[in-house]
Amino acid sequence: MSNKKQKNQVDKKPQSFDYDTIVIGTGPGGEGAAMNLTKAGKRVAVIEKHTQVGGGCTHWGTIPSKALRHSVSRLIEYNSNPLFNKSEKAASLTFENILEHTTKVIRDQVRLRGGFYNRNEVDIIHGTASFVDKNTLKIVMLDGSVEHLTAENFVIATGSRPYNPVDVDFKHPRVYDSDTILSLKHQPKNIIIYGAGVIGCEYASIFRGLGCKVDLINTRDRLLSFMDAEMTDSLSYHFWNSGIVIRHGEEYDKIDAQEDGVIMTLKSGKRMKADCILFANGRTGNTDSLNLPSVNLEANSRGCLAVDSTYKTSADNVFAVGDVIGYPSLASAAYDQGRIAAEYMLNLPTEGQLIEDIPTGIYTIPEMSSVGKTEQELTAAKIPYEVGRSSFKHLARAQIGATPVGGLKILFHCDTKEILGIHCFGEQAAEIIHIGQAIMQQKGKANTIEYFIHTTFNYPTMAEAYRVAALNGLNRLF
């Protein structure tokens, strides 16, 4: 073994296992678990089936899509700013152009994350893992050779992949999913995006920002129905205003990929044609290659594993975190799940759980973000609440930055004035939301909307939206 810790234990009693814990996967969940365990003195290895660490979050999901979105957002800003857009012809970029920035971000993230493992003396083993028995893994290395490693405990952090229905030819050069879209080599003039969840909406923004005609097919009756309705209505209007065609309540009947384009036939009888299609409707947990029956585990129909409050599966020494256990399927939550699972594995005196109000950030153009309850949830629960609003177009900082679209909404209890939910739509929404989240996490009288009128904000800032919204809401009370 190459583990430095083992070299330092030559004179000690030999261990019965190669490692204390083996973590399968190096995405946020695997990293969180591995770092907490190794800092507690445990002998840890991570298994990564690709040549670089980081998992889907770094290479195909969170980081690439947000880097793409940033580049396109800056292009839109440049073209809409009269200081720069003095010619009749707008500046343009191809998908390949903006991928150059994305590639650099991925490279920097891989270097950073790889450094964490090296500095903390965690072995990185590149290969595909499957269980042999409750303490043994079979590793098929990248060169085809096979090794067997043993450990007392295991953490499954294998993430998820795009759902690929069998009747769609994903090998065709004009058919993509959210992983393979990063290999797009040509600049489509029009694109069909099937699935209007978080990924579908984000890529709809990206391609429309590049000047593509976008048909966004939503299998439900509204966009992002888990978000506050007022926020999603704002996004729908913004999409419509930018030229994105949204078709709600539709499902595909047939997808015919041809040499010159893709024809989609919907069950309603509608037909549409585009240069290519991005299929972004659902994800599947990466558990099919783990040989789960050998440890008496079984994934559900979505490839996900059931865990208890400590992230332990029904196998006593096997834990699971991240997308592979389903909701909330967020990189931020996965990292915390990994760290919390490690605390339970270490038998530390902890009752660690994810926070109740996990913030959601959706990186469309403009962004959406929320934390806490929606108006619909509060109404259904018969909780008396009031609303405070601030429109960005009235903020000096938004006027200076030419980002007037959107606003902030604070929901608070009519009697106690406790903050119940915060919802934001507009530039930097995912950053702005954390100011309110910090106050929501306070206890007692500290968690009231009055905080925002009793504190002093930098001026001009977007944070001032909280003071404006708080005054607006308190003025509604009688």
Q: Consult the annotation and say whether 57 binds a ligand.
A: yes
Q: Consult the annotation and say whether 127 binds a ligand.
A: no
Q: Consult the annotation and say whether 424 binds a ligand.
A: no
Q: Which two tokens stand for residue 205?
A: 């923004």
Strand order in the sheet with 406-413: 360-362, 368-372, 419-426, 406-413, 385-391
What is the C-alpha separation between 101 and 86, in angstroms, rounded? 26
Q: Consult the annotation and say whether 304 binds a ligand.
A: no
Q: Which two tokens stand for residue 267?
A: 């069950």
CB atoms within 10 A of CB 445: 11
- Residues whose CB is less than 8 angstroms from the CB of residue 393 and which lie 6 or more positions away in sequence, other chains included: 399, 404, 405
Q: Consult the annotation and say whether 187 binds a ligand.
A: no
Query: What is the bridge-based pairing of β-strands 160-162 and 283-285?
Result: antiparallel
CA distances to 194, 225, 269, 415 from 250, in Å:
9, 15, 10, 43
User: What is the four-CA torsion angle of 176, 182, 186, 192, rounded to 10 degrees?
Assistant: 40
Q: Consult the annotation and say whether 261 binds a ligand.
A: no
Q: Consult the annotation and say whether 51 binds a ligand.
A: yes
CA distances to 30, 110, 131, 290 from 296, in Å:
22, 34, 10, 12
Q: Which two tokens stand for residue 144?
A: 């085809």
Q: Consult the annotation and say whether 282 binds a ligand.
A: yes
Q: Which two tokens stand for residue 419?
A: 């903050």
Q: Consult the annotation and say whether 423 binds a ligand.
A: no
Q: Consult the annotation and say whether 414 binds a ligand.
A: no
Q: Consult the annotation and say whether 198 binds a ligand.
A: yes
What is the C-alpha separation between 355 and 345, in angstroms, rounded? 20
Q: Consult the annotation and say whether 158 binds a ligand.
A: yes
- Residues whose CB is less than 8 angstroms from the CB of residue 411 and which lie 6 or more positions away in sequence, other chains included: 372, 373, 374, 375, 378, 385, 386, 387, 419, 420, 421, 422, 423
What is the C-alpha separation between 203 and 312, in angstroms, rounded? 35
What is the C-alpha separation between 295 and 320, in angstroms, rounded? 13
Q: Consult the annotation and say whether 215 binds a ligand.
A: no
Q: Consult the annotation and say whether 100 binds a ligand.
A: no
Q: Consult the annotation and say whether 295 binds a ligand.
A: no
What is the C-alpha separation between 127 and 241, in angstroms, rounded? 47
Q: Consult the annotation and say whether 199 binds a ligand.
A: yes
Closest CA to 45 of 73, 81, 15: 15
3-state secondary structure of 239: helix
Residue 474 buriedness (CB in 10 A; 0-12 / 13-18 / 19+): middle
Say which amino acid occupies 98.
I
Q: Consult the annotation and say whether 80 binds a ligand.
A: no
What is the C-alpha separation between 469 and 460, in angstroms, rounded? 15
Q: Consult the annotation and say whether 66 binds a ligand.
A: yes
Say which amino acid occupies 324.
V
Q: Consult the annotation and say whether 159 binds a ligand.
A: yes
Q: Consult the annotation and say whether 432 binds a ligand.
A: no
> Residues at the annotated binding site?
48-57, 66, 158-160, 195-202, 282, 323
Binding-site members for FAD are: 48-57, 66, 158-160, 323
Mark the binding-site residues for NAD(+), compressed into ranges.
195-202, 282
